[in-house]
Amino acid sequence: MSKKTKQIKQPSPKLSRRSFVKTGAGAAAITALSMPWITTKAKAAGEINVVLNQGYLANLWIKHLHEEFTKETGAKINVQQSVTSKMLVMLKTQHDNPPDLMMFSEAGVHKAVKDGQLRQHNVKNIPNFATIRDAYNFADNYSAGVVDAVHTLFYNTKRMQTAPTAWADLWASKNKGLIAIPPVTWNSGVRMVTSAAQVATGKPLKDAQYDWEAGIEQLAKLKENGVVVYTGGPQAIQMLQSGQVPIVPFYGLFINPLIDKGAPIGVSTHLKEGKHGEIVGLNMPKKAPNVELAEIYVNMSLSKEFQMKVDSVLHSSAAHKDVMPTPRTKELLGPADNTTYADWDFLSANRAKITEKWNDVFG
């Protein structure tokens, strides 16, 4: 690792993904149950405040879960949409008056737990928690994983005939001026640093991610190759669809529905260094006021019926153990063993330093 910057102590390379539950014989039946635990106390709360992510991801919950939730509980849902970095700020600024649930990824969960901003889910009150895959309970019940937001390379099929096969392709002279990347304030922007470190060192992610300074130096070379940095999702998608910038790294759950609608976009389903996996979960602030309603919301989000829509609408990997990817989802996601997961405990601890160095290059 480069010695230019003093590092926070490196944790074990073993990624923090733990199983917490053994699925019992009655697990399948649990999913099908209605909500008999909805009490007068829960209904009396009257409303629940939820901060979702954005775009197609938020819309899935708004269109396919919220009406049923209100029908079952009688409670109103107040919705905001945001991103992980802003939700972490909200957890601090609204510590004593937080929303009831926040949807952000593992990139923020580890920091929020260390800062004492989250409470563990009481899985006894969330029966469907027993149905999620092990990897989706990555923080000892502090987050209820609901979807894997895989990040990979997308390209405009009118301007390019073949898919990139490696992150290293971004540095090829033939792609000069054809690439847009996410900012480091996005989790995917941090993963671009880890992939650049892989390109620079030739090491696999499990080792290269700790040498992030090599990744920053490699990204500086990408700047010399004419890369631009997008500042918002709509901007990135517009550049990609129009062909203005034909190669754009992005999250599949925002692009796959567009591909299904006929957008001229192709996807790199296998990358030499690995695609980026990022589990997104529902997280409860420490002082959430309406815990019982929040638990119902989480339970409904983990039901087999709703998780099937994660696959059929977003073409993304669902949390529920019994929801197998459809052929179309497999086609868009590619092989599961090509998806890599970063040590966000380490990256979150060093994120301020990573951001500072990134800004020295692109700021």
Closest by CA to 26, choosing from 128, 125, 140, is 128
Q: What is the mean pLDDT of the chain?
A: 90
In a domain, 12, yes or no: no
* 286 and 270 together in one domain: no
No. of H helices and E strands in the chain? 16, 14
pLDDT in tens, 300-326: 999 999 999 999 999 999 999 999 999
pLDDT in tens, 184-231: 999 999 999 999 999 999 999 999 999 999 999 999 999 999 999 999
pLDDT of residue 45: 58
In a domain, 5, yes or no: no
Task: Provide the number of structural domains found in the chain.
Answer: 2
Closest by CA to 122, choosing from 318, 287, 291, 301, is 291
Closest by CA to 316, choosing from 251, 248, 240, is 251
pLDDT of residue 46: 87
With residues binned 3-state (H G I as helix, E B as strand, rest as coil), the percentages for the chain, rounded to 5, are: 45, 15, 35
Beta strands 275-276 and 76-81, pairing class: unpaired
Q: Which helix (H) or strand (E) holds 267?
A: strand 265-267
Please give the structure tokens belonging to residue 223.
């700047």
pLDDT in tens, 132-176: 999 999 999 999 999 999 999 999 999 999 999 999 999 999 999
In a domain, 333, yes or no: no
Separation CA 149–CA 84 (nearest Å): 13
* 171 and 123 together in one domain: no
Looking at residue 228, which CATH number applies to its domain? 3.40.190.10
pLDDT of residue 363: 86
Angle at 75 (CA atoms; ends 69, 77), nearest 5 degrees: 75
pLDDT in tens, 339-362: 999 999 999 999 999 999 999 999
* 232 and 126 together in one domain: no
* 140 and 162 together in one domain: no
* 139 and 177 together in one domain: no
For residues 90-116, give the mean pLDDT: 96
Residue 11 pLDDT greater than 70, yes or no:
no
* 122 and 213 together in one domain: no
pLDDT in tens, 31-68: 333 343 444 554 555 899 999 999 999 999 999 999 99
* 232 and 294 together in one domain: no
pTM: 0.87
Q: Give residue 116's domain range.
A: 27-149+278-324
* 103 and 130 together in one domain: yes
